[in-house]
């Protein structure tokens, strides 16, 4: 019965607003939006520089000055698709082709958009900057570190940055894991990282915080962190409004920084496998039905009130369990378990009508008609 109802809801256009709302909702969002895992620690391994709307000459100046502080890795989340001023482009090319610089490119409908061939060499380090390959979901919850396309494996920008930073400490076994999407461990917005502007970098001879660090260059608003600036901004689980309309809450380079931090610290969220969720759903639903069917027969007067109270308590307790597990980096998708259990109990009355019909017509034996 649940399968038939869910099939109708998913495939009838009239239910699209509801199905889309559920796609964009996760208990993971509640965990982050309510700051249940909030940590005030600022990551000093990753430094972010706001590139604002700098032109190419200013960008090459910025990169040149950043190199003076001896960063271990520089990642730049910007694509220079066309050739412009030949002289300026040649200056920019010198900076972008250095050994510790990671360039970015992007997939648009499986077509690669990258820097012009005159700006970066073929063997320059680069990775795709796409944050979301799921066109049906606007919230950036998952991460795919390696993408296979036409028998070629492409590496994500954040994965290349982490590999370069860790060097021999990079766990190559992660690459098999990162071919599939995994949940992103979010640590916070731009205020969780050291951030600098173009002017701050250019006015300093050397910045100690950049020494041996990961430096990520990307757009984080003008001025810094402007909540009304939505250029290269995305929806994340940290959004203060996990349900309903809201503005995008996090710039792309900040999401990249969160992913890089997750990779270099080997701090992953364990996603409970689907077969375990299915098994839990079957077991919990089965015993819930046994309990409620028995109560509907033995205590019909109290049944309706008891049903609502138990359903409410179960929902509260199970949500609490899932949020508690999230604090332990275990992501249990509680929504389908709760939904199936609650809905199945509501079908008991329909099941009783069906068994009554079968009992009268075919002498169907049922717990409802055992006397």
Please report the pLDDT score of residue 304 as a whole number: 86
231-252 pLDDT, tens digit each: 999 988 888 776 655 788 899 9
From CA 240, how far away is CA 189, in angstroms rounded? 12
Please report the pLDDT score of residue 371 as a whole number: 54
* Helices 300-327 + 274-298 axis angle, to 10: 160
Tokens of 267: 């701090």
CB 134 within 8 A of CB 178: no
* pLDDT-flagged residues of the chain (< 50): none
Q: Rounded to whole angstroms, what are the CA distances from 301 to 220, 298, 304, 306, 347?
A: 61, 9, 7, 9, 18
Please report the pLDDT score of residue 225 as a whole number: 74
145-190 pLDDT, tens digit each: 999 888 888 999 999 999 999 999 998 888 888 999 999 999 999 9
- Residue 218: CB partners within 8 Å, gap ≥ 6? 48, 49, 50, 51, 76, 77, 78, 232, 251, 252, 253, 254, 256
Please report the pLDDT score of residue 34 as a whole number: 67
Average pLDDT value for the chain: 87
CB 53 within 8 A of CB 222: yes
Please report the pLDDT score of residue 224 as a whole number: 81
From CA 35, how far away is CA 173, in angstroms rounded? 32
The pTM of this model reads 0.85
Pairing state between β 73-76 and 214-218: parallel
CB 87 within 8 A of CB 120: no
Please report the pLDDT score of residue 12 as a whole number: 61
Neighbours of 370 (CB within 10 A): 7
């Amino acid at each position: 019965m649940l399968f038939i109802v869910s099939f109708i809801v998913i495939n009838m256009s009239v239910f699209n607003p509801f199905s889309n709302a559920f796609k964009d909702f996760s208990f993971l969002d509640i965990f982050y939006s309510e700051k249940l895992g909030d940590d005030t620690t600022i990551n000093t391994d990753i430094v972010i520089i706001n590139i604002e709307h700098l032109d190419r000459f200013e960008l090459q100046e910025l990169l040149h000055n950043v190199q003076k502080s001896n960063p271990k890795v520089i990642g730049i989340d910007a694509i220079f698709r066309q050739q412009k001023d030949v002289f300026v482009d040649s200056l920019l090319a010198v900076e972008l082709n250095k050994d510790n610089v990671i360039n970015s490119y992007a997939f648009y409908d499986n077509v690669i958009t990258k820097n012009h061939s005159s700006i970066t060499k073929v063997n320059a380090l680069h990775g795709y900057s796409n944050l979301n390959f799921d066109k049906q979901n606007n919230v950036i919850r998952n991460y795919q570190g390696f993408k296979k396309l036409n028998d070629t494996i492409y590496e994500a920008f954040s994965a290349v940055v982490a590999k370069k930073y860790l060097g021999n400490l990079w766990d190559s076994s992660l690459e098999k894991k990162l071919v599939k999407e995994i949940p992103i461990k979010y640590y916070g917005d731009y205020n969780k990282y050291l951030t600098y502007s173009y002017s701050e970098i250019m006015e300093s001879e050397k910045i100690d915080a950049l020494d041996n660090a990961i430096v990520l260059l990307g757009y984080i608003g003008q001025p810094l962190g402007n909540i009304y600036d939505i250029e290269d901004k995305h929806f994340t689980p940290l959004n203060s409004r996990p349900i309903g309309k809201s503005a995008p809450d996090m710039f792309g380079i900040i999401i990249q920084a969160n992913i890089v931090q997750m990779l270099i610290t080997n701090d992953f969220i364990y996603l409970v496998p689907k077969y375990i969720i299915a098994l839990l759903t079957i077991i919990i639903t089965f015993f819930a039905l046994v309990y409620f069917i028995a109560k509907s027969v033995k205590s019909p007067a109290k049944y309706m009130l008891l049903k609502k109270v138990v359903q409410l308590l179960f929902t509260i307790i199970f949500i609490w369990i899932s949020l508690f597990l999230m604090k332990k980096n275990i992501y249990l998708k509680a929504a389908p378990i709760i939904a199936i259990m609650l809905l199945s109990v509501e079908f008991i009355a329909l099941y009783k009508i069906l068994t009554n019909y079968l009992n009268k017509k075919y002498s169907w034996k049922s717990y409802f008609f055992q006397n």
